[in-house]
A and B are shown apart, each in its own frame.
Chain A
Amino acid sequence: MRLEIGKFKVKDIVFGGETSYADGILTVDREDALKVVREDKYITDAELEIVHPGDMVRLCPIKDSVEFRCKVEGGEGAYPGVTSPLGQAGMGRTHVLDGVSLLAVGKHWGGFQDGLLDMGGEYQHYTIWGDMPNLVLVADTSEAEERHEQQKKNHAIRWGALRLAEHIAQCVRDMEPEETDVYELPPLAARDEKTKALPGVVYVLQPQTQMEALGYNTLVYGWDGNRMLPTLMHPNELLDGCLVSGSFMPSSSKISTYEFSTNPMIKKLYEQHGRTINFLGVILSTLNPKMEEKARCVQIAGQIAVAIGAQAAVVAEEGYGNPDVDYTAMLVELERLGIKTVGISDESTGRDGASQPLVSMNPATDALVTTGNVSQFYKMPAMKVIGELEALARDGNSGGWEGCINPDGSCVMENNGMFCANHISGYSRRSCSDF
């Protein structure tokens, strides 16, 4: 499978007459863009803003981040099975506006799963978005049935963001990319002898799929991840929009749609392919609430890894707490099968730092990379807010609580509520240590 990602390097985003890209500047026709968002009858209000690294601006409550991308040839659209017809992702050519993102923010209402980030100040670099210009969609909806629910599907705003990102990226559809990344991995049996002689490595991704009700979990070609068993996928499918982030799980442990499609772990494994490793592919696994489901999933994933000849595996867990059981069980099973593992997840050490960092621990997991601590306590100075800061305290946000916002607009929170901040996708530049 061969995928070309044609990149247009965006240095800045501005509003202007016609949506276009030239010389590193993305110009967005605000009214034209908002029309695409308002196609959904549940959208009652929508605005656009632009934020830059260093701006003393706080965004809250954030629902998702999406890369501006459009499918040029060899597929059905940016998010097949979701906002495009179902079709094979991972082949042909996709154009992306590189170095910027679209952030989808609620105008009023947040929930357990939504997040907050700062574009400036002490916490600017806690998320990747603090280091890039972002177009911000701020919207409200008439999804009254979940207005006062702590768990929100956030369907209208999330789908609005997917449509908008793809719509804006159409402006580079017929242009020649400034740079093209080629991702090509032939079938396992068709690889050259030199590559086959290298240790086979598989990436086992456990996206968040624990919600029994549909509409909250990570989508795989539009299919709810809760209703699937582990399956072997080509890394190109992930780099080409086959995964859409869910709306469940404390925000800092989530992987945004932007990160699923730009997955730095997959890119690093690609870099090593043919040099130090033979990158076999991705086992897309699941996270499950029930013990038997966890065991079944681990067993099936382990069998796939053995069948394709994996000698090593990178296991990533989108979440913490209960899913730590799936995470540790996966690592332990793979090690039992003789497959060397490295795990990547965040930790939950409690407000005093003294709690067991993972719910389930096993000495067989001897190579773990930590991306952050959901319990870390952050003191946030007051700054201009896009969205509504009160959502952090009022709407059951996983990192906020009633009274966490001071009258002067400063606030305190747990890492839990910082938008995708632990970057389990691999972007995180933080870890944890013993004190």
Chain B
Amino acid sequence: MKAIHYINQFFGQVGGEDAADSKPIFHDKPIGCSMMLDKMLPDIEVTDTVVCGDNYITNHTDEALKEIFAYLDGKKFDIFFAGPAFMAGRYGVGCGIVCKAVSERYKVPVVTSMNEENPGVAEYRGACYIFRGGRKATFMKDDLTAMAAFAEKIAKGEELLPAAEEGYFPRGIRSEIPAKNGETAAERVIDMLLKKLRGEPFQTELIIPKTDKIPPAAPVKDLSKCTIALVSSSGVVPSDNPDRIQSASAQKWGKYDIAGRDCLPAGEFKTIHAGFDPEAMCAVPDRGIPLDAMRAYEREGKFAKLYDYYYVTVGTGTTQNYAAKFGREIAAELKEAKVDAVILTAT
């Protein structure tokens, strides 16, 4: 098997923070920590190292990926590595971006490693094998060893075990497994029951994720005095999508001026949402952002004023972490602008 390894400017010996904007550099042999990785892999040869600045990959993602693809298109490889990225946030996100793109384009297994506090984990754990890594570079050998051991299992065609046993962050995929020690479900129930009754630690077989309970805001007292804003996950944006909001798994939101407009004309606005057939909403963008109806109510005096901007992102595939971040950021702006209430349109 052949492998290619992606690392950042620091581990690729280009430089530190001063070199974070550096464009991809390609080596047709392993360099830096790729050499260490190569030595750990008896059945896999690391043939190339790709080095890219953390700022460049995160701020100029499309360009960076284009350059990386141009190089990888001419290469034959069976597996792709990135990192380890430890706690380094931009490095982790960069590894995630590249792994996800490589996996989608070349359909090869992609393996990286990050510390659990790296923001790249929450965003990319569903797209690649992210191994649980140390906090800093002193864990380089340990983290590479974990990545290498897993890749060797892939190379040998060995059975891949559940995430917890292999040591990577669960990718949001659940699958059937034989019960441990061939125990029947009735035996497992009794074991769990007795432990729970005794107050001893026990391991549930289906972990239910904790969800935040957000108390709803107090009801509006007098609608006729309210300023109301429109916020939406419908993906309706000006036709050139000036903020380049992603069509799925959004990492951004946009804010667009509607002062003086009575509707959002087709052609000037469209939806970029990839989670439904966009034809009807592109024909009448007001069905995503109901500006026409809001203006009518405003004229009737049902409420005082429609806020001059609407806020929008795309809901499909967007992680809870990003959604919560968008919510906090947008709410802060609306509060600052003394908006009293919001109509949130989903799709």
Enumerate chain A interface residues (CB-CB to B < 8 A).
Answer: 199, 201, 264-265, 267-269, 271-272, 276-277, 311-312, 314, 340, 342, 344, 347, 349, 352-354, 357-358, 361-363, 365-373, 376, 415, 423-435
Contact = CB atoms under 8 A, between A and B. Distances in A.
B179 A428 contact: yes
A330 to B, nearest CB: 15
Interface in B236-284: none
Contact of B211 (A340, A363, A367, A427): A363
B164 interface: yes
Interface centre among B162, B173, B176, B210 (most CB of A within 10 A): B176
A366 B204 contact: yes
Contacts of A358: 206
Given A272-B194, A369-B189, 18 more contacts: A264-B184, A268-B190, A311-B197, A312-B193, A314-B189, A347-B174, A367-B196, A368-B204, A376-B175, A423-B185, A426-B186, A428-B184, A430-B176, A431-B180, A434-B171, A434-B172, A435-B160, A435-B175
Interface string B157-187: 0001011100000111111111110111111
Contacts of B196: 312, 340, 342, 367
A352 B173 contact: yes
Nearest to B168: A435
B42 interface: no
B86 to A, nearest CB: 23
Contacts of B297: none
Contacts of A432: 174-177, 205-206
A352 to B, nearest CB: 7
Contact of A269 (B162, B190, B202): B190
Nearest to A434: B170
A431 B206 CA distance: 9
Contacts of A267: 186
B179 A357 contact: no
A266 to B, nearest CB: 9
B147 to A, nearest CB: 17
Contacts of A424: 185
B218 interface: no
Interface centre among B184, B192, B194 (most CB of A within 10 A): B184
B216 interface: no
Nearest to A355: B174
B177 A427 contact: no
A370 B211 CA distance: 21
B164 to A, nearest CB: 7
A383 to B, nearest CB: 22
Interface in B123-174: 126, 160, 162-164, 170-174
Contacts of A272: 190, 194
Given A363-B210, A368-B205, A433-B162, A357 B174 contact: yes
Contacts of B193: 201, 277, 312, 314, 340, 342, 367
B104 to A, nearest CB: 14
A282 to B, nearest CB: 14
A199 B197 contact: yes
B199 to A, nearest CB: 10
B175 A349 contact: yes
29 contacts: A264-B184, A268-B187, A312-B196, A344-B189, A347-B206, A354-B173, A358-B206, A361-B208, A363-B211, A368-B206, A369-B205, A370-B205, A373-B174, A376-B175, A415-B176, A425-B186, A426-B186, A426-B189, A427-B184, A428-B185, A429-B185, A431-B176, A431-B178, A432-B175, A432-B177, A433-B177, A434-B174, A435-B160, A435-B171
Interface centre among B180, B206, B210 (most CB of A within 10 A): B206
Nearest to A201: B193
A433 B175 CA distance: 6
A434 B164 contact: yes
B214 to A, nearest CB: 15
A362 B209 CA distance: 8
> Top 10 nearest A-B pairs by Cβ distance?
A426-B186, A434-B170, A433-B162, A353-B173, A264-B186, A349-B174, A368-B206, A428-B185, A370-B205, A268-B186
Contacts of B172: 354, 434
A363 B208 contact: yes
Nearest to B177: A433
A171 B71 CA distance: 78
Contacts of A369: 185, 188-189, 192, 205
A344 B173 CA distance: 20
B89 to A, nearest CB: 24
Interface centre among A272, A366, A372, A431 (most CB of B within 10 A): A431
A1 B177 CA distance: 39
Contacts of B187: 268
B208 A362 contact: yes
Contacts of B186: 264-265, 267-268, 425-427
A280 B210 CA distance: 32
Given A311-B197, A342-B193, A429 B175 contact: no
A429 B189 contact: no
A268 B178 contact: no
B109 to A, nearest CB: 13
Contacts of B205: 368-370, 431-433
A397 B58 CA distance: 49
Contacts of B179: 428-431
A347 B196 CA distance: 22
Contacts of A372: 176
B164 A312 contact: no
Nearest to B165: A433
A429 B177 CA distance: 9
A368 B203 CA distance: 9
A373 to B, nearest CB: 5
Contacts of B208: 361-363, 365-366, 368
B195 to A, nearest CB: 8
A144 B341 CA distance: 61
A264 B126 CA distance: 38
A431 B204 contact: no
B181 to A, nearest CB: 9
B211 A342 contact: no
B209 A426 contact: no
